[in-house]
Amino acid sequence: MKQMNRLYICMLMLVMSIATYAQKNKGPEFEVTQNVEMCDTIWNVADKPVEYPGGNAEMYDFLFKNMTNGSHLQAVSVQKMVVKMLVSSDGTVVEKKVLRSIDPDLTQDVLQAMDKFPKLIPAKKNEKDVCAYFLILVGLTK
């Protein structure tokens, strides 16, 4: 019984140290930019993140319906394409950057479908709409 208590205490200490490290090393809360027209401050940590109207399920449904080769993609799989979008305070996508590509043709197809996205629901900080990043993962089926 004492060994179990020691194990739980060690696990608790490990979790607390990881949480403390994560808090100290999470990076800046925001970035000040000069190269982006619609965003002078980009929030990395917002009270409420950017959302697609209707949620993620609606977003993936829209994405796959608007792709030429959408039948090869799914929301969760082993191989993932990662797209980072900068969304302005009015919900407009200001920039798109592919962080990880699966296949050049499918990447282009995904980006073209994303060009048709409706305005997104912007992030909120202190109850104000702000510029923030939005990450989207798209997977390739085998």
- What pLDDT shows up at residue 28? 53
Q: Which residues contact 87 (CB under 8 A, 6 or more apart)?
A: 50, 93, 94, 120, 122, 123, 131, 132, 133, 134
Instruction: Give the domain extent around 129.
Output: 27-140
- What pLDDT shows up at residue 116? 93
How many domains does the chain fold into?
1
Helix or strand holding residue 93 (H, E):
strand 93-100
Residue 87 placed within a domain: yes
Residue 34 placed within a domain: yes
Residue 6 placed within a domain: no
What is the rounded (10 degree) CA torsion for 76, 142, 95, 46?
10
Residue 38 placed within a domain: yes
- What pLDDT shows up at residue 34? 52
Model pTM above 0.75:
no
Reading the chain (142 residues) residue by residue, the pLDDT tens digits are: 444 333 333 333 333 333 333 334 455 555 555 556 678 888 888 899 999 999 999 998 898 888 876 555 554 456 788 999 999 999 999 899 999 987 788 888 889 999 999 999 999 999 999 999 999 988 765 5
Residue 5 placed within a domain: no
Helix, strand and coil percent figures for the chain, each rounded to 5: 35, 30, 35
Residue 67 placed within a domain: yes
Tokens representing 28?
A: 């800046």
